[in-house]
Structure 1
Amino acid sequence: MSQHLIVFTRYPVPGTTKTRLIPALGAEAAADLQRQMTEHTLRQVACWQTRPASPSPYRTVDVRFSGGDRSQMEAWLGASWQYTPQGEGDLGDRLQRAFAAAFAAGADQVVAMGIDCPQLTAQQLAQAMQALVDHDLVLGPATDGGYYLLGLRRPCPEVFQEIAWSTAKVLQQTLAIAQGQNLRVATLAPLSDIDYPEDLPTWYAARDRLESAKTKTLSVIIPALNEAATLPSVLQEVQSGDVVEVIVVDGGSQDDTLAIARQQGAITLQSAPGRARQMNQGARLATGDLLLFLHADTHLPTQFDAEIRRMLSDPTIAAGAFTLAIDAPGAALRWVERGVSWRSRRGLPYGDQGLFLRAETFRQVGGFPDLPLLEDVALVRRLRSLGRIAIAPQSVLTSGRRWQRLGVVRTTVLNQVIVLGYLAGISPDRLARWYRGRGRPKSN
């Protein structure tokens, strides 16, 4: 596997670079900012180059420059990088040439980026490359309507053509072209470019940020299929917590699920349908120390992030989940909640309770088994050999739609028969066929 990273930058000559910042900083300081941001970016690139991966890829970097010559670039940034002049034309022309050269040289995955986004880290560069394993195009949306990163796994010059560069239309035009080309698209978390004086606080915060070893980072992974109605409020609650990223993995929605996830700043991936498959794909891309798998119709309690960190700080706990509350009235559903509580406290919570665990533990057990159903039960049973399965006292609130659709008694009996059949050794594929045949509301 060959991964190629293209970095676009400019030699810092005062008066020719960061010109939109000159009124606020002056020509010399604006050029110095260009210098600092390029060096900051290349430090992250160097970290990405040495970041371990399995299987180990062959990684190359090409610094595409303007405003100087190769000897000046080497004198500034050192001789360890490959330097290539950007050449003539608009940004689309220059990007198209750079990608064509990389693919012609044998690269399997090619990502291009600028130096204007100081929040971009080595982890996110690795995310972009990982996304290209099963997506044709990866985009890092910029908050100004453009993108800070674009990656391809095969040549597609169309994504650089007929684009209104340096406008707020760039991202949407690129997504529209990708749709027309039938490309499978992944989007990373939105980040801010440093283009105008009002953007400078973002640079100062990134420059002065100290890495904290005390706080474990948390990634939230949401498998979704036609969840446009519930997803906006679920994402809003998730993003109120201290999370490093929210990853929505879509299984082929026919509604606005993907558009909503992108609009609200989630990382988006596209997958074949299947909850286990979707969650595993999200976990492969996640950078957090801790993982929370959340159904798209399940609402989290306040301070969920603090509770997850608190519980997983106990080394005897292998994984955890929240107490379940069902978002529907009725005495029968309150009995269901009591039954779920009894089962959960005996070490068998289900996925609709929000399963959370350490990322290293998830990898150790091999992730979710690729089953058509009961992937959560299978994972939890594996995890019990590694430690306790703890239940948080706070409740998640999950949709009552499946109980309302089939009836409380029928839904409960179906669920128990499926679980007992699985524990008795009946094939999950056979159980899934049986469940699909009986898990439909009766017609009048």
Structure 2
Amino acid sequence: MLALEERAADDFDEYGTGHKLPPKRKCTPDAVLCHRIEPRFTERRVPTLSIIVPAFDEAANIADALQALAPFRQRGAEVIVVDGGSRDRTAELARPHADRMLIAARGRGAQMNAGAGIARAEVLLFLHADTRLPPDADRLVVRALAGANAWGRFDVRIEGRSPLLALVAALMNWRSRLTGIATGDQAMFASRKIFADAGGFPEIPLMEDIALSQRLKRIARPICLAARVVTSGRRWERHGVVRTMLMMWRLRLAFFLGADPTVLARRYGYVER
């Protein structure tokens, strides 16, 4: 495991992209460390898509999640896993299935920014470890952006036993189209430039996806792909579908009204993910 020595946010310059990605933080033992993996891409062969996967204590699922990305890697995408200091074997199990493996400060916003900072493609896709992409996701995203300064998300389906989960997903997709706000469960994607222009993910303990969406939609309305990602319903079923939905609505309303994300995260049950 080697310190990046202040290169985590600058490595992409070696590939001639020309866009700086925020936040630009000094890499320290508490910030970003890198497990060096022999790169599959050279300056002449830049990946078509960078899939950035933040993870924390996902040992039970991470290998399967990353194996599902193998077809995209075969077609020219790179997979970057950013572990938030897991207490289990997440990093060890992820390493064989990733093109690059980072250890970053815990928190999805910080982890995804760290991954974006070393991404080599002009198109970035942020994928939660418990979410699966449709088989042609790479082609859909690259075609949707087509060199434009744009961003977007997929529709979502929530996997689980409760029939209410289908309703929750339908409401999420409808609300997103109506408001121009996307959530991390919908696998947000963006051109490198618009992500940089928006300032990257706010490094807050909760609602980082909502906050970034607010920034991005000031620049451009999102591209809403009808193809569906599949995300785990474990959180919903563990706490109750209706109860979780009502809690999320209350939290989101409080956030829009200016509540402190740290307070909201504590109310949600954890401080950082």
Matched, 1:294 2:127: yes
Residue 388 of structure 1: SS of its match in structure 2?
Answer: coil
- Aligned mates of 1:323, 1:133 — CA distance in 2: 36
- Aligned mates of 1:232, 1:323 — CA distance in 2: 24
Gaps of 5+ in 1: 5-52, 57-121, 125-131, 137-183, 193-205, 438-444
**Contact 2:160 2:232 (C-alpha < 8 Å) held by counterparts:** yes
Hey, what does 2:167 align to over in structure 1?
335
Q: Displacement, 1:380? A: 0.5
Higher relative contact order at CA 8 Å, sep ≥6: structure 1 or structure 2?
2
Q: Displacement, 1:220? A: 0.9
Hey, what does 2:60 align to over in structure 1?
229
- In the TM superposition, what are the counterparts of 1:157-172 in structure 2 within 5 Å? none
- Aligned mates of 1:274, 1:210 — CA distance in 2: 31
Provide, for residues 212-242 of structure 1, a one-character-per-residue CA deviation record: whole Å limited to 9, x for no partner: 7xx9721111110011122112212223113
**Contact 2:151 2:189 (C-alpha < 8 Å) held by counterparts:** yes
- Aligned mates of 1:408, 1:314 — CA distance in 2: 39
Hey, what does 2:239 align to over in structure 1?
406
Matched, 1:313 2:206: no
Residue 348 of structure 1: SS of its match in structure 2?
Answer: coil
Matched, 1:280 2:109: no
**Percent pairwise identity:** 39
Q: Displacement, 1:293? A: 0.5
Provide, for residues 367-419 of structure 1, a one-character-per-residue CA deviation record: whole Å limited to 9, x for no partner: 00111100000000111111121111111110111011100011101111000
**Contact 1:345 1:391 (C-alpha < 8 Å) held by counterparts:** yes
Cα distance change of structure 1 residues 293 and 237 upon mapping to structure 2, 3 Å threshold: same
Cα distance change of structure 1 residues 394 and 222 upon mapping to structure 2, 3 Å threshold: same
Cα distance change of structure 1 residues 390 and 191 upon mapping to structure 2, 3 Å threshold: closer
- Aligned mates of 1:304, 1:244 — CA distance in 2: 11
**Contact 1:369 1:375 (C-alpha < 8 Å) held by counterparts:** yes
Q: Displacement, 1:211? A: 4.7
Cα distance change of structure 1 residues 273 and 331 upon mapping to structure 2, 3 Å threshold: same
Matched, 1:186 2:34: yes
Gaps of 5+ in 2: 17-24
**Contact 2:162 2:237 (C-alpha < 8 Å) held by counterparts:** no
**Contact 2:47 2:78 (C-alpha < 8 Å) held by counterparts:** no
- Aligned mates of 1:211, 1:247 — CA distance in 2: 19
After superposition, the CA RMSD in angstroms is: 3.0
Larger Rg: 1
Hey, what does 2:91 align to over in structure 1?
258
- Aligned mates of 1:352, 1:243 — CA distance in 2: 24
**Contact 1:225 1:253 (C-alpha < 8 Å) held by counterparts:** yes
**Contact 1:234 1:299 (C-alpha < 8 Å) held by counterparts:** yes
Structure 1 length-normalised TM = 0.52
**Contact 2:81 2:101 (C-alpha < 8 Å) held by counterparts:** yes
Hey, what does 2:22 align to over in structure 1?
none
Residue 311 of structure 1: SS of its match in structure 2?
Answer: helix
Residue 397 of structure 1: SS of its match in structure 2?
Answer: strand
**Contact 1:328 1:399 (C-alpha < 8 Å) held by counterparts:** yes
**Contact 1:249 1:270 (C-alpha < 8 Å) held by counterparts:** yes
Structure 2 length-normalised TM = 0.83
Q: Displacement, 1:134? A: 2.2
